[in-house]
């Protein structure tokens, strides 16, 4: 059975920022399961036996080699979309995460072709298909 396809999957998603108006984004490589060559804000599936906080720390450490300085729960978003000809359903728990830019690097070069900071509102293209919807949903809290 596959999460998101055979049953709703749960993911932690995050908007990582530096506290100075910059958002960290990663460029998905050809090794990603979908949306290859698109810029994304970051996230990972919730593993059995791990708390949400443990999953956040693990995913951010793996992807960006950084420790969480501050976190804020923004809300959730249900994602219904088609992937590779199959309907999927994910529950995404969104967080605003502050990182130290000095720590950040590409911890998963097999998954990301690039990791970079961008000014909020000045995003690269092409973007992950869900990014703008998610950004607009949480923009007020992200810019606060």
> Where is pLDDT greater, at 46 or 81?
46
pLDDT at residue number 105: 98
118: confidence class by pLDDT, cuts 50, 70, 90: very high
pLDDT at residue number 81: 87
DSSP assignment of 97-140 equals EE--TTT---S-TTTEEEEEEEETT---SSBPTTHHHHHHHHHH
| DSSP-derived secondary structure letter, 21 | S
83: confidence class by pLDDT, cuts 50, 70, 90: confident
Q: Which residues are registered as beta bridge partners of 99?
A: none
pLDDT at residue number 34: 87
In the chain the domains, ranked by start, together with CATH numbers, are 9-142 (3.90.79.10)
DSSP H/E element including 63: helix 52-64
First to last CA, the chain: 40
DSSP H/E element including 57: helix 52-64
Question: What predicted TM-score, i.e. pTM, was given to this entire model?
Answer: 0.94
């Amino acid at each position: 059975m596959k999460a998101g396809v055979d049953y709703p999957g749960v993911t932690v998603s995050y908007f990582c920022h530096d506290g100075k108006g910059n958002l960290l984004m990663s460029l998905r490589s050809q090794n990603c399961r979908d949306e290859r060559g698109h810029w994304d804000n970051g996230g990972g599936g919730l593993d059995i036996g791990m708390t949400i906080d443990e999953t956040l720390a693990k995913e951010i450490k793996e992807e960006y080699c950084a420790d969480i300085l501050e976190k804020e729960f923004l809300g959730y978003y249900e994602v219904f979309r088609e992937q590779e000809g199959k309907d999927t359903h994910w529950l995404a728990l969104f967080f605003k995460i502050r990182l130290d830019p000095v720590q950040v690097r590409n911890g998963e070069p097999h998954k990301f072709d690039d990791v970079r900071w961008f000014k909020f509102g000045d995003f690269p293209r092409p973007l992950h298909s869900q990014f703008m919807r998610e950004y607009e949903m949480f923009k007020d809290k992200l810019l606060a």
